[in-house]
Each structure stands twice: as C-alpha cells, then as structure tokens.
Amino acid sequence: MFAPPEVLLLEDDLQELSALEAIVRGLSLEPVTASGPRQALARLDHHRPLLAVIDLDMSRAPAAERRTGVHDVLRRLHARHLNCIPLVFSAGVETIDDQARVYESHPHALFQSKRHGLPRLLQRIESLLGGRVGDLALRRGVVEHVPSGRTINHRVAVTLVAARRANRSVVLRDSDARAARRFGDWLDEVGSTVLVRALGGRHYQLAPREPAPGDGR
C-alpha cells in the first residue's frame, strides 16, 4: 500500500493550522499537525516527515505546549531528521538577524514570510514537493518519469527528488542506500536524464547525467 509523504505542520493558530492542513491534503500529502512545540516533538517521535512547515511565534499555544520552544523542534529536526526540509513560515523571518537565529538551530532551514500569505506558501510547497528535476516530476507524492509516464513511489525516491529541489543531499542508512541504488537502476531503465549520485559518507543526491563527449546532446 502506498503511504503518501508526511508534512509536519506546527502552527499555534488553529484556523491557520486547518488551512495548512487543507493545502497539504490538496497536494495528496499527509499532514501531521501540531499546535505547539511539545506536540510537534511528540509527533517527531513517531513520524518521518519529508517537509516541516513551522511557525516561529507560538504565543497562542497553551502554556504547557510552550515549555519547549520552536527552536527545540528545529534542533530535533537537524539532529534526527536530516532528510526533512524545514520551511519556516513566519512573520518573524523578515530580517537577516531573524534568519540567523533560525540558522543557529537548523542551518538548512528555508524561509517563507507570512506577510506573503498562504497562496505564496502553497506555491513554495508545490515548488519543493511538486517540482521537476531533469525529466522527473514529483506529483502528489509520487516520482514520475515524465517522458515515459512511469512512476515510482518509494519514499527514498521521493526524498531524493524533494532534497534536490532544496539543493540538499540525503543521508541514508544501508537498507535505504539499497533502495537508492534500485531507484538508480530504475532511472537507467527508463532512460532518465537524471542519476543517483553517491557523494560519499552515506550522502546521496540526484544529478543530471553528463552527456558523453561527442554524443551530440
């Protein structure tokens, strides 16, 4: 059975949380919601989200939720969920100093200002989880080889495509490294312009296939 990729949503405004949830479901992804940092940490004990959309301002969260902070969530993501892309969606990321504070908790965080509203956030999520890498497209949580129309839904394949969209590498354990190699074989089989590249130290990344000299491409 195919389980769609999960997206952690940390938002203390329940109306906004439900709007975010609708956006994520609309992309055929599975929302994992949290209305406070403590709840988010508990969710991360049992879920492996591909993307985390995080609000920095937790002033509306119940006091019990605020015993831990958003930065604890970011630090947890950085320490234990390296392949999760954190997207900080907040009014508090307008200045470089704001962004530097987030950087200190998670150096790979991406930023999306709330000032630009939900439509822009939707575009950003779509560009990360719905964009193309070479002749591959990530559509509704599935990797599609566009020219042949063939699809693969293994989470490692999905993670590699999403990571490439965010200019990141993916860190894999042995069993998942095997899945990455199988994905590489699949890319060869469909004649994709993209390959899986082992960077060393268990890091993997999708890369464009270099044309051989003189092949006219």
Partner 1 sequence: MIARMRQAALRTLLVVSERPHPWAFLRDRLDPDLVTVAWARPADAGRSGTPWMLAGAGADAAALAGFRDRLLCWRWVGPPPANLPAPAASCRDWHQLAADVERALAVRVAGVRLAPGCGLVLPDGSYLPRAAGLEALLAAHPDGLALGPPTARLRDAGRRAAELLRRHGLPLRVAWDAGRLALTEDAGVRPA
Closer residue to partner 1 (CB): 63 or 212: 212
The span from the CA of 188 to the CA of 184, in Å, is 6
Q: How far is CA 216 from CA 161, 209, 210, 211, in A?
A: 27, 14, 12, 8
The mark string for 170-189 relative to partner 1 (x by CB under 8 A, - otherwise) is: -xxx--x-------------
**Applying CB under 8 A, which of residues 45, 46, 107, 216 lies at the interface with partner 1?**
107
Interacting positions 24-53 with partner 1 (CB under 8 A): 48
Q: Which is nearer to partner 1, 213 or 216 (CB)?
A: 213
Q: Kindly tell me which of 47 and 60 has the beta carbon lying closer to partner 1.
A: 47
Residue 80, C-beta contacts closer than 8 angstroms, at least 6 positions apart: 44
Q: Which is nearer to partner 1, 65 or 176 (CB)?
A: 176
**Interface with partner 1: number of residues (CB under 8 A):** 36
Q: What angle do CA 118, 29, 14 make, to 5 degrees?
A: 45
- Looking at 2-10, 28-36, 128-136, 191-199, which segment touches partner 1 (CB under 8 A)? 191-199
The torsion of the CA quartet 50, 104, 118, 157, rounded to 10 degrees, works out to: -20
Q: Please tell me whether residue 99 binds partner 1 under the rule CB under 8 A.
A: yes
Binding site for partner 1 (CB under 8 A): 48, 79-83, 96-97, 99-100, 103, 107, 155-156, 159, 167-169, 171-173, 176, 197-203, 205, 207-208, 210-213
